[in-house]
């Protein structure tokens, strides 16, 4: 078969999106191997991918063995977050480009080491912040790049979801400091990535509060942060896993001198407010997107951008360094706050 030989390490629930994304990008490559510690999960994904693509990937429970036997070009890492660093480093040492689920790692030291090894070996690292590829987000980004807001003075990211006790009990690593983080690292990091991307500046300082209101976990189930950027813009983050009785919203609100935009929907996939002092033809175009779940459908264009980056010798839109910076904001919030019950 032609194209990039790709393997997937970690076959949890997000991996369903990776099956579809890889099948949709079959002109660029294919899954040669699928690995999970639980064989039945790898076999389930094998069946799904076969139905999508007509290609039967090999299944493994040992990712190092898979890397040795298949010699892949690309390794997609979707394990528990706390294992991203170890698995990513092994994949780089095996000569693979890597596409990493969020967060790229769990500490800045790990992320710095991972990115440094990628550069040393001239290998590409991408991060799965797939919401950047939502049509509504791309429309917003176009307005930002065209300068239509004037000065952007504030951006608010609200992620008001619910994750009940059963969600955390299904996997013992969820909500732990070492393997997952709290709602800010797990559920909120996508919108935090969009906030940072739209603001276009590094962080100057952070003040924050975190709480463990209801869930039996080690980390926070609620967090709020005020972020001052070096361009003097202000970011506001509100993240919750304890909204009653179900997910309420994921919104990104951008406020500038000459424009206001609010994106909403299940995964910032709809334009709810679009007001500018000027007017462009694309203002009237509908960029809303119907999605099946909170993961959206951004993995397919994210995969395409990653493969094109490899072919064109450039960095992907969401590079390892971009993932590192967005993870750094969450870590900054953690450093600025203690968890109170």
DSSP summary character for residue 242:
B
Same domain, 275 and 244: yes
Residues 19-55 have pLDDT tens digits of 999 999 999 999 999 999 999 999 999 999 999 999 9
pLDDT exceeds 90 at position 163? yes
Q: How far is CA 240 from CA 212, 237, 259, in A?
A: 10, 10, 28
**Above pLDDT 90, what percent of the chain?**
94
Q: Is 37 helix (H, G, I), strand (E, B) or coil?
A: coil
Select from 255, 244, 246, 230 the least CA-distant residue to 157. 255
pLDDT exceeds 70 at position 291? no
Contacts with 166 (C-beta within 8 Å, 6 or more apart), sequence order:
none
Determine the distance from the C-alpha atom of residue 114 to the mean position of all C-alpha atoms in its chain, rounded to a whole number: 17
Same domain, 154 and 289: yes
CA 185, 186, 189, 191 dihedral sign is: negative
Same domain, 209 and 112: no
Is the omega angle on the peptide bond into residue 88 within 30 degrees of 0, that is, cis? Answer: no
**What is the predicted pLDDT for the residue at 92?**
98
Question: For the chain, how long is the longest CA-to-CA vector?
Answer: 59
Same domain, 182 and 125: no
Same domain, 187 and 221: yes
Q: What is the mean pLDDT of the chain?
A: 96
DSSP summary character for residue 134:
S
Same domain, 259 and 226: yes
Classify residue 200 as left (phi > 0), alpha (psi -120 to 50) or beta: left
Same domain, 333 and 212: yes
What's 75's domain CATH number?
3.40.50.720
Cα gap 39→127, rounded to integer Å: 26
**What is the predicted pLDDT for the residue at 288?**
80
Contact (CB, 8 A) for 17 and 49:
no
What pTM, to 2 d.p., does this model score? 0.97
Same domain, 39 and 80: yes
Residues 209-247 have pLDDT tens digits of 999 999 999 999 999 999 999 999 999 999 999 999 999
Residues 97-147 have pLDDT tens digits of 999 999 999 999 999 999 999 999 999 999 999 999 999 999 999 999 999
Inter-helix orientation angle 84-93/63-70, to 10°? 20
What's 218's domain CATH number?
3.30.360.10
Contact (CB, 8 A) for 175 and 219:
yes
**What is the predicted pLDDT for the residue at 296?**
72
DSSP summary character for residue 168:
H
DSSP summary character for residue 284:
G
Contact (CB, 8 A) for 61 and 53:
no
Query: How many CA within 13 A on the CB side of residue 191?
Result: 33
- The mean pLDDT value for 253-279 works out to 96
Residue 10's pLDDT band, with cuts at 50, 70 and 90, is: very high
How many CB atoms sit inside 10 A of residue 270's CB? 20
Contacts with 116 (C-beta within 8 Å, 6 or more apart), sequence order:
none
- The mean pLDDT value for 280-296 works out to 81
Domain count, the chain: 2
**Above pLDDT 70, what percent of the chain?**
99
Same domain, 151 and 110: no
List the alpha helices (DSSP H) in the chain: 15-24, 39-53, 63-70, 84-93, 108-120, 135-145, 165-169, 183-186, 189-199, 299-312, 320-335
Same domain, 188 and 101: no
**What is the predicted pLDDT for the residue at 190?**
97
Determine the distance from the C-alpha atom of residue 92 to the mean position of all C-alpha atoms in its chain, rounded to a whole number: 20
Query: In terms of residue numbers, what domain contains 116?
Result: 4-131+299-319
How many CB atoms sit inside 10 A of residue 167's CB? 14
Cα gap 179→181, rounded to integer Å: 7
Same domain, 122 and 238: no
Cα gap 96→76, rounded to integer Å: 9
Same domain, 233 and 314: no
């Amino acid at each position: 078969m032609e194209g990039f030989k790709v393997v997937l390490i970690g076959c949890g629930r997000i991996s369903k999106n990776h099956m579809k994304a890889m099948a949709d990008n079959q002109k660029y490559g294919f899954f040669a191997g699928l690995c999970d510690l639980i064989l039945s999960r790898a076999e389930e994904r094998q069946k799904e991918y076969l139905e999508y693509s007509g290609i039967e990937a090999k299944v493994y429970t040992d990712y190092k063995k898979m890397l040795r036997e298949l010699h892949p070009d690309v390794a997609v890492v979707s394990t528990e977050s706390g294992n991203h660093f170890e698995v990513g480093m092994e994949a780089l040492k095996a000569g693979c480009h890597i596409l990493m689920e969020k967060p790229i790692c769990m500490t800045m030291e790990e992320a710095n080491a991972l990115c440094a090894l990628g550069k040393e070996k001239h290998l590409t690292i991408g991060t799965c912040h797939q919401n950047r590829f939502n049509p509504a987000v791309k429309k917003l980004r176009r307005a930002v790049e065209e300068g239509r807001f004037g000065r952007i003075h504030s951006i608010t990211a609200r992620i008001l979801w619910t994750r009940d006790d059963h969600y955390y009990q299904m996997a013992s690593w969820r909500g732990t400091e070492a393997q997952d983080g709290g709602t800010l690292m797990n559920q909120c990091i996508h919108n935090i990535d969009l906030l940072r991307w739209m603001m276009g500046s590094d962080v100057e300082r952070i003040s924050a509060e975190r709480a463990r209101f209801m869930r039996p976990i080690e980390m926070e189930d609620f967090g709020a942060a005020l972020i001052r950027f070096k361009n003097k813009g202000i970011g506001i983050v509100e993240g919750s896993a304890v909204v009653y009785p179900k997910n309420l919203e994921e919104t990104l609100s951008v406020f500038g001198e000459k424009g206001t935009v609010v994106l909403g929907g299940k995964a910032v996939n709809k334009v709810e407010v679009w007001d500018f002092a000027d007017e462009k033809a694309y203002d009237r175009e509908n960029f809303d997107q119907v999605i099946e779940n909170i993961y959206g459908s951004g993995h397919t264009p994210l995969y395409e951008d990653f493969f094109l980056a490899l072919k064109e010798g450039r960095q992907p839109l969401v590079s390892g360094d971009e993932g590192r910076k967005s993870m750094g904001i969450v870590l900054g919030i953690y450093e600025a706050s203690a968890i109170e019950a």
